[in-house]
Amino acid sequence: MPARRRPLLRKVAWAPQQAVIGQARPFLADISHRPLCTAGTATIPNRSPLSGVGIDLNAAKPGSIINTASLEGLSHAVYTMTVQGAKVYSGLYNGNIQVWHMDAYVNLPSGSRPEYHTLTGHTSSVYALVVTERQLISASHDKLVKIWDLNTLRCRHTLKGHNSRVRALALSGKLLFSGSNDKSIKVWNLEMVSQTQSLESHSSWIRALASERDVLTSASKDNTVKVWDLKTMKCIFTFSTGSEVYSLAVTNNTVYGGCQDHKIRVWNLNTMQKSHMLIGHEGVVRCLFIRNNTLYSGGSDCKVKVWDLKTNDCTTLFGHTSFIRAVAVDELGQTLYSGADDKKIKIWQAR
């Protein structure tokens, strides 16, 4: 059957095929094809939203990144996401974690039913997710860090040590770092599954962590970003931020901080100096992600922004209707995912 011409808006309701680990709350999701971009409304063929078009997002022309699909009808807001291969992991406000099997879309017509698993175990909001080759690690408002086996999708370990909500996670080799409202950063050995020490220097909540090689950076409600030497586990520098930092990303010895005053501040770890600012958001910059010299940001202004770090040029993606709390890009750098308080995960690709 030939494809329909010019599908400006196509909405298909579907009930995702669900395999539940623990108690789950059933929901009906739908997938909406709303091709959106800054250069006006685009149209796309009637095909899978994850067709292997093979266009890198960092090489996309202005206006060519469009919303190819949306996972809608989720039961709660999306607070965090991470991607590994064809799996998208989303942490929700209610404490559940959803594992989306996005390979179900490939070579299938639009409107196909993606499979997902629901992981239950946390009793309150999931704030952070990181993934290794074999494990998914989650941090929650319930003060706990949980380690999930990716083969069985069952919780293998629960890490207890914080006495308040755990907001941030970061990985460096076999070490896991967790940041909390209790002002501490706990260091965990993933091989021994035990806490090795606690890093305490901040005077208020820790909102974000990011690591690169032998350096850990931490952002706090105390309006500082601290730099930690992971060889000595000592704080070696403190940046005064001028505004509360909600999100962090680091690459090539450069730290990016998404701030409450709508700016993204940039610091150079070689000189330990503030470099410049990226200005464009009109709300708190709640999430950051870096892949292939491209920075992705999401904010309370309901916008996703794509920054070329070579030129600092910015493309704005519209589509969400509430705070964006999570952005993530696949390993190939070809698919962007954004999650928000509007209970939607949007999928973006270059066409």
Half-sphere exposure of 86 (CA within 13 A, CB side): 12
- Across all residues in the chain, what is the average pLDDT? 85
Q: What percent of the chain has pLDDT over 70?
A: 82
Q: How far is Cα 304 from Cα 313, in angstroms, rounded to an integer?
A: 14
Q: What is the pLDDT of residues 2-45, one digit of tens each?
A: 333 322 223 333 334 444 443 333 232 333 333 222 222 223 33
Q: How far is Cα 147 from Cα 131, in angstroms, rounded to an integer?
A: 10
Q: What is the pLDDT of residues 159-212, one digit of tens each?
A: 999 999 999 999 999 999 999 999 999 999 999 999 999 999 999 999 999 999
User: Residue 217 corresponds to which amino acid?
Assistant: T
| Contact between 276 and 256 (Cβ < 8 Å) | no
pLDDT number for residue 53: 54
**What is the DSSP pairing of strand 294-299 with strand 304-308?**
antiparallel
* Dihedral pair phi/psi, residue 218, rounded to 5°: -135, 140
What is the pLDDT averaged over residues 89-117? 78
DSSP-derived letter for residue 86 is T
DSSP calls for 221-268: TTSEEEEEETTTTEEEEEEE-SS-EEEEEEETTEEEEEETTSEEEEEE
Tokens of 150: 């990716």
